[in-house]
Amino acid sequence: MRLKLLRVSPLVAAGPLLAACTVGPDFQKPPAPAATAYTKAPVAAPGLAMAHDIPADWWTLFHSASLDTLIRQAITQNPDLAAAQASLRVAMENVKAQNAAFYPTVTAGLDASRNKQGAQLSPVLASPQLLYSLYQAQAAFAWTPDIWGANSRSVEALQAQADAQKYQLEATYVALSANVTAAAIQEASLRAQIETTQAVIQDERDILAIEQKQHALGQIAGQDIAAQETVLAQTEQTLPPLQKQLAQQRDLLTRLAGRYPVDEIEQSFLPDSLALPQELPVSLPARLVEQRADVRVAEENLHAASAQVGVAIAARLPNITLSANVGSVATQLGQLFGPGNGFWSVGGGLAGTVFDAGQLAHKEEAAKAGYDLASAQYRGTVLSAFQNVADALHALESDGEAVRLSVAAETAAAKSLSLARAQLAAGQIARLAVLNAEVADQQARLATLSARASQLADAAALMQALGGGWWNRPEALAAQ
């Protein structure tokens, strides 16, 4: 246990300072994980800048002015952030309220009453008068010195909870910026899919029209027409779900910006409005526990649980209570503060629990179990943080290969389409062959757009997994 000076009221500041012994464990910050890498094997993902810090406005790495504007609007208008800020204020006020317990409580009052005593009883007043008025003014002083540090530990626990709420606010900030970025990427992907699907549908319709003419001329069988109609119908079926997803994505972005669906955001996101960052900063594993807001929340919860053990231990020890009372009493209001009407009392007491059937002992054991629970939750949160980063890195590695293969397939399809158009111009093939090549080209382009969208989304997920750069925000820097 550690010794410290007891904080006292200004009313008794002139007296000797009392030494207080704070019982219970002193919180020790958990050591940083020994891991020196996020993955067992090095990740071969393009653009990773190892040992680089994450900027507070990491989304600007995607080079989209519309995205930057929308996220800044969301930060100022989103109700989730406002709720987190209010929760932080609640926690901070609770700390201040608990701090007040270090000081004495002084109360004052003025009472007035009209009374009648029984004639058979001894007179209350010096005279035999049965009917009288009574006026009383008094001030009372009460103080329980924090000799075992119960209040110190309570303040410590509440302060840790306030710090946890502060990091929860940062987690909300990071989640909001990441959610807006992910939704914008998804919108751009959906617009590209809708545009490409509409082009494919048009090509399929043109193919069907040509085959219907060929069938009328007896060049192909009706089975070929039915097969093409099936292909067209299946392609058309994919369009309404994409349009529904786009509308819902717009609603999501509008809600994240703190607006109603009828007041839809002005920004729209197209495939070419977002670019993959040339460099993706990846901080060192040793810094992850400091950067992840959820890990810091778990750490402060562990701190609060540690302090609660001290509170439970102190509750089992005897406490001293000091009290004083001073005032004046009279039967006439004008005589209330006259000579001879004053009274006072000063007292002190020492009290402790002698028998409670083990109630306080079990509460102490419960507090210790709560600490073990918070410790296990902290370790689990750290493990999940490292898993998130490793998952994002593996996803980016896979995305890079998927983009490479899809670009190669798109290049091949584009070359095939170019040759088909040249052959059509030379009269070597029919229009139908060119339409089939166009469908293949559109489908290859759709695959590339999908792969690039996944790459963008996983890049944003990596920034969130690494903590989101909240510690570089001006507000966080000022607090530090």
**Residue that has been written with the tokens 């007040």 in this structure:** 100
Give the C-alpha distances (Å, rounded to integers) separating 47 from 56, 60, 278, 397, 434.
19, 16, 6, 10, 38
For residues 302, 307, 313, 314, the Cα torsion angle rounded to the nearest 10 degrees is -170
Q: What is the DSSP string of 283-304?
A: --GGGHHHH-HHHHHHHHHHHH
Q: 461 and 395 in contact (C-beta within 8 Å)?
A: yes
- Write out the two tokens for 290: 């400091």
What is the enclosing helix (H) or strand (E) of 21? strand 19-22
> What is the torsional sign of CA 168, 174, 176, 178?
negative
Q: 108 and 139 in contact (C-beta within 8 Å)?
A: yes
The per-residue pLDDT for 11 is 33
Q: 434 and 420 in contact (C-beta within 8 Å)?
A: yes
Q: Of 33, 34, 475, 43, which is closest to residue 280 (Cα–Cα)?
A: 43
- Write out the two tokens for 112: 């007035």
**Residue that has been written with the tokens 């410590």 in this structure:** 156
Q: Global pTM?
A: 0.87
Please count the other Cβ atoms lying within 10 Å of the Cβ belonging to residue 240.
9
Q: Of 387, 317, 314, which is closest to residue 352 (Cα–Cα)?
A: 317
Sort strands 131-143 and 342-351 into parallel, antiparallel or unpaired.
unpaired
Q: 238 and 197 in contact (C-beta within 8 Å)?
A: yes
35-102+150-317+361-479 has which fold? Outer membrane efflux proteins (OEP) (1.20.1600)
Query: Which residues, 6 or more positions from 24, have their beta carbon under 8 angstroms from its beta carbon?
Result: 1, 149, 153, 306, 307, 309, 310, 311, 312, 313, 314
- DSSP lists the bridge partners of residue 141 as 106, 324
Burial class, 377, CB count within 10 angstroms (exposed 0-12 / middle 13-18 / buried 19+) = middle
Radius of gyration over every alpha carbon of the chain, rounded to an integer in angstroms: 37
Please count the other Cβ atoms lying within 10 Å of the Cβ belonging to residue 76.
10
Q: What amino acid is encoded at 236 in this protein?
A: E
Tell me the pLDDT of the chain (480 aa) as tens digits: 333 333 333 333 333 334 458 999 999 999 989 999 999 999 988 889 999 999 999 999 999 999 999 999 999 999 999 999 999 999 999 999 999 999 999 999 999 999 888 877 767 777 777 888 999 999 999 999 999 999 999 999 999 999 999 999 999 999 999 999 999 999 999 999 999 999 999 998 998 998 899 888 888 888 888 988 998 999 999 999 999 999 999 999 999 999 999 999 999 999 888 999 999 999 999 999 999 999 999 999 999 999 999 999 999 999 999 999 999 999 888 888 889 889 999 999 999 999 999 999 999 999 999 999 999 999 999 999 999 999 999 999 999 999 999 999 999 999 999 998 898 888 788 888 888 899 899 999 999 999 999 999 999 999 999 999 999 988 766 565
Give the C-alpha distances (Å, rounded to integers) separating 411 from 346, 392, 436, 439.
94, 28, 16, 14
